[in-house]
Chain A
Amino acid sequence: MSAPEIRCEQGQRQVFCGLSGIVWLHRKIQDAFFLVVGSRTCAHLLQSAAGVMIFAEPRFATAILQERDLAGLADCNQELDRVAAEVLERRPDIKTLFLVGSCPSEVIKLDLGKAAERLSEVYRDRVRVLDYSASGLETAFTQGEDACLQALLPELPTRAAGERSLLIVGTLPDVVEDQFKRLFDELGIGPVEFLPPRHATEYPSVGNGTLMLLAQPFVGETARALQKRGATLITAPYPFGIEGTRAWLKAATDAWGIPAERLEAVTAPAIARAEKGLARQRELLAGKRICFLPDSQLEIPMARFLQRECGMELVEVATPFLDRQLMEAELPLLPPDLHLTEGQDVDRQLDRVRAARPDLTVCGLGLANPLEAEGLRTKWSIELVFTPVHGFDQAADLAELFARPLVRGALLKV
């Protein structure tokens, strides 16, 4: 099968920086604290994204650089030690402290790696201090998770040589994690471990017998780093929709040497349920034209699911960053004549959207309401990262996310 041609675009980008990953990562890893070293802008981003929830005790904060830090009047390392001490005094329950780099900290070349080493030594046996960069210079939106997971890798214990295990990489909602665990149990695949873990005390182990399945398409650097530790990457489409989930599981059973009949038998009830649920949504979505603006790197698997399983027509699919290795199994499933874009020049892209007038545009919240006001239905993309959408039992829910704005558009008479 031939994959579609990829066009690259450069210009103004309407995406989040990697810092926004903290908004879901702090919920997933419950005993971790994220300390951003950056400017007031970074702090403002975080609280604009998460601050609508009222926190009794937030698990993230910003060490805002001051003039004297920039002028070299204050020793940034001493300052950082003081701020970290303040955080840990306030939150004695914290087990992992992430120092998160930002654009300003990177431009002034503040060495957070060294700082993390030093602080790890100071708080030995109590708190691990890790660092990663989630600056806009380096990362777009979900790439922040990729960077965070990489920082965790040195903490992962090494598994004995040749000992087989399955490692699922990428944040999954707890409910989905449990579903997958049950499926793998029934298939006879194990031990199965997840990265990131729910608690920083439950790190998965990795060795040359470890097979990796990626649950998210944006953890490429993490996967490559795990390969360096001996793990083997199983290439598969991502577990969205029935087709994607089945292929994803099949890649694991193949690697494990489990016969196809076994996979059929184990997955049949869930697939039957999913087909029933999906049929209702397909009625609403079939024949509708959809456009994806770049946001999370989830665009390609989502588009594949909507086109092949829900009968939608793809107008343009754009992704902020296209990792060819990670999309190897996905690209051939897309229609070969698809307009596939990597990168963004937002104004020109909007011109194309306006000209094509799709039935649904998947975009960020900075663009959604303005497009709605132009009479275009939108689906805000960030929700795809915050909703359980993986696996058989979420296939209909995933389709429903896209059907909902269309249903709503039809319902409202005002």
Chain B
Amino acid sequence: MQLTLWSYEGPPHVGAMRIAASMKGVHLILHAPQGDTYADLLFTMIERRASRPPVSYTSFQARDLGRDTAELFKTTVEATYERFKPELILIGESCTAELIQDQPGALAQGMGLPVPVLPLELPAYTRKENWGANETFYQMVRGLLKSRVPAPGTERELRAQGTRPKANLLGPTALGYRCRDDILEVTRLLDSIGIDVNLVAPLGATPADLLRIPEADFNVCLYPEVADQACDWLRRSFGQPVVKTVPIGIGATREFLQEAARAAGIEVDTTREPISSRMPWYSRSVDSTYLTGKRVFIFGDATHAVAAARIAAEELGFTVVGLGTYAREFAREVREAAKRYGVEPLITDDYLEVEAKVAELHPELVLGTQMERHIAKRLGVPCAVISAPVHIQDFPSRYAPQMGFEGANVIFDTWVHPLMMGLEEHLVTMFREDFEFHDGATPSHLGPTTARMSQAPDSPPEPTETAVVADGAMVWAPEAEQELKKIPFFVRGKAKRNTERFAEERGIQTITVETLYDAKAHFGR
């Protein structure tokens, strides 16, 4: 058993639901107990969809377990086909159905339905939501296209002279973080270098559309968490190159355009920026100088976390102090990125482990998921959301991509917003006893709440640190403790930790004001 306060991903059948709900003409039949229909709300409420997701449930109850749940399943399949007449039926089980083993996939395939039936293996006790989405999408693409795979050695047909190259955008789904607007932005980007979009899948596609995948010159793997298996298979089977750079951030967007151009076999004028972004200038303007070296902790799915780290380090001038992901399948990418920034990668789906890490690192900003907002609230650290899982406020009405140049604009505003603004930060440091603009108060541009302060202003910031004090027999002299409080709130935790480390390494028993400043000189800011 794993104690879970918050989980980063849902079960794998929710991933399958995301694929079905993304598409048209696909219906998912889930063998699941009464109550599992809660997942419909993710689509109708969090994403505010105007239609029910194309998912039917058997909703078995205790009294059905004594009878024939397999029969119940077959009745559901019949009724569902009659009512919705989908082009393709997916069959899945939720975690409880997996335990009662009715083999619904085989049952449905034996029913002689006039449309393709695709049974899904979704191991609910070992795999999770993104894996479920990835597997479902891959099985569907493969199932529909395997009869059309050309014989090995067949040359890809050359594009007709004068026609624009075409790309597929693969990976965007229902409940994906900002997929809706990323698609528009990437379509615009590609258009700016003369590339058309052949189709987007799974979001908005039908099974018939998927048959047109091979018509494109290459595939763009926009969300590897969902589409990397399908893209790999398409590359092997149809020789379609895969563009793997995910265009989040200015640098990544430029690289993406280069890579897409190479895949399409076209020349792109590298000296001219196809679409501009305000973000580089905003970041260079003197108002942003105070952002330099802000200590940031980053956590999310691998794609967004790796992209965020690059933006933070190269485009905003932050210091990345922690980087991690909950997606074990993509741990390699995060490990590599962590090496680049000289931090230890955190690969875990355990919320409590992430919380402990944030507490230990004392960042000034947390970039994470909805779950990191809970952590940030508890620890009183500013936070911005960069990745799923997210809640309703992160499916905004306005245009809010993360990708491309407009995405970079959105990111600049979003990440800087929770930080205390420059002037306030200076004044709070200079004058410490103001009744309104004090140390623990929420930055004044965020409104009147005092939520920022989960610890009282004059208590030492981290209870976990007091343990070190106790068992190391190391104590803070009262003057030193007073002096510590004069350090601004958002860096005080770090200063405390550094001082204690400094003292411990030198065998200092009592930390004085001197020790504090010695440590400061030793470590720098």
Binding site for B on A (CB under 8 A): 11-20, 37, 39-41, 43-45, 47-49, 51-52, 54-58, 61-67, 69-70, 74, 76, 79-80, 82-83, 86-87, 103-104, 106-108, 135-138, 140, 347, 364-370, 372-373
Q: Are A41 and B124 in contact (CB under 8 A)?
A: yes
Q: A41-B95, A67-B126 are in contact. Are A51 and B34 (CB under 8 A)?
A: no
Q: A17-B33, A39-B124, A373-B51 are in contact. Are A137 and B62 (CB under 8 A)?
A: yes
Q: A40-B11, A66-B1, A366-B44 are in contact. Are A51 and B6 (CB under 8 A)?
A: yes
Binding site for A on B (CB under 8 A): 1-7, 9-11, 13-14, 33-42, 44-46, 48-52, 56-62, 65, 76, 79, 83, 94-96, 99-100, 124-126, 128, 370, 373-374, 377-378, 391-392, 454
CA distance A367 to B36 in the complex (A): 14
Q: Are A39 and B125 in contact (CB under 8 A)?
A: yes
Residues on the A chain within 8 Å of B128, using CB: 40
Q: B390: shortest Cβ distance to chain A, in Å?
A: 10
Given pairs A17-B33, A138-B61, A373-B50, 5 additional interface contacts (CB within 8 A): A18-B35, A41-B36, A41-B124, A44-B7, A137-B62
Q: Are B94 and A41 in contact (CB under 8 A)?
A: yes
Q: Are A52 and B392 in contact (CB under 8 A)?
A: yes
Q: Are A86 and B7 in contact (CB under 8 A)?
A: no
Residues on the A chain within 8 Å of B58, using CB: 12
Q: Are B454 and A13 in contact (CB under 8 A)?
A: no
Q: Are B96 and A103 in contact (CB under 8 A)?
A: yes
- The answer, among A43, A137, A347, A369, for a CB contact under 8 Å with B83, is A347
Q: Are A370 and B61 in contact (CB under 8 A)?
A: no
CA distance A11 to B11 in the complex (A): 24
Residues on the B chain within 8 Å of A82, using CB: 1
Q: B120: shortest Cβ distance to chain A, in Å?
A: 15
Q: Are A368 and B391 in contact (CB under 8 A)?
A: no
Residues on the A chain within 8 Å of B14, using CB: 41, 44
Residues on the B chain within 8 Å of A67, using CB: 125-126
Q: A136: shortest Cβ distance to chain B, in Å?
A: 3
Residues on the A chain within 8 Å of B34, using CB: 13, 15, 17, 136-137, 140
Q: Are B40 and A40 in contact (CB under 8 A)?
A: no
CA distance A368 to B41 in the complex (A): 10
- The answer, among A19, A41, A87, A364, for a CB contact under 8 Å with B11, is A41
CA distance A155 to B14 in the complex (A): 39
CA distance A76 to B2 in the complex (A): 11
CA distance A70 to B45 in the complex (A): 33
Instruction: Enumerate the 8 nearest inter-chain pairs by beta-carbon distance, A residue then B residue, closest first.
Output: A17-B35, A136-B35, A373-B50, A366-B40, A39-B95, A103-B96, A44-B10, A136-B33
Q: Are B52 and A367 in contact (CB under 8 A)?
A: yes
A-B CB contact pairs (8 Å), 23 listed: A13-B59, A14-B40, A17-B36, A43-B6, A45-B39, A47-B6, A51-B370, A52-B391, A55-B374, A56-B374, A58-B5, A63-B3, A64-B2, A64-B4, A83-B3, A87-B3, A104-B96, A135-B33, A137-B33, A366-B37, A366-B44, A367-B52, A370-B50
Residues on the A chain within 8 Å of B76, using CB: 12
Residues on the B chain within 8 Å of A44, using CB: 7, 10-11, 14, 39
Residues on the B chain within 8 Å of A372, using CB: 50
The winner among A80, A347, A372 for most chain B CB atoms within 10 A is A347
Which residue of chain B is the closest to A86 with respect to CB atoms? Answer: B3
Q: A49-B38, A62-B7 are in contact. Are A136 and B61 (CB under 8 A)?
A: yes
Q: A13-B34, A140-B35 are in contact. Are A43 and B52 (CB under 8 A)?
A: no
Q: Are A104 and B95 in contact (CB under 8 A)?
A: yes
Q: Are B377 and A64 in contact (CB under 8 A)?
A: no
CA distance A364 to B52 in the complex (A): 12
CA distance A138 to B96 in the complex (A): 13
Which residue of chain A is the closest to B14 with respect to CB atoms? Answer: A44
Q: Are A107 and B99 in contact (CB under 8 A)?
A: yes
Residues on the B chain within 8 Å of A83, using CB: 1-3
Which residue of chain B is the closest to A85 with respect to CB atoms? Answer: B3
Q: A414: shortest Cβ distance to chain B, in Å?
A: 12
Residues on the A chain within 8 Å of B50, using CB: 369-370, 372-373
Residues on the B chain within 8 Å of A40, using CB: 4, 7, 9-11, 95, 124, 128
Residues on the A chain within 8 Å of B45, using CB: 365, 369
Residues on the B chain within 8 Å of A16, using CB: 35, 38
The winner among B2, B6, B40, B96 for most chain A CB atoms within 10 A is B96
Residues on the B chain within 8 Å of A20, using CB: 38
Which residue of chain A is the closest to B63 with respect to CB atoms? Answer: A137
The winner among A17, A69, A137, A138 for most chain B CB atoms within 10 A is A137
Q: B243: shortest Cβ distance to chain A, in Å?
A: 32
Residues on the B chain within 8 Å of A140, using CB: 34-35
Residues on the B chain within 8 Å of A62, using CB: 3-4, 7
CA distance A74 to B40 in the complex (A): 33
Q: A9: shortest Cβ distance to chain B, in Å?
A: 12
Q: B200: shortest Cβ distance to chain A, in Å?
A: 22
Q: Are B96 and A107 in contact (CB under 8 A)?
A: yes
Which residue of chain A is the closest to B9 with respect to CB atoms? Answer: A40
Residues on the B chain within 8 Å of A39, using CB: 11, 95-96, 124-125
The winner among B38, B57, B96, B392 for most chain A CB atoms within 10 A is B38
CA distance A373 to B83 in the complex (A): 20
Residues on the A chain within 8 Å of B13, using CB: 41
Q: A132: shortest Cβ distance to chain B, in Å?
A: 15
Which residue of chain B is the closest to A367 with respect to CB atoms? Answer: B52
Q: Are A137 and B41 in contact (CB under 8 A)?
A: no
Q: Are B377 and A369 in contact (CB under 8 A)?
A: no
Residues on the A chain within 8 Å of B57, using CB: 12-13
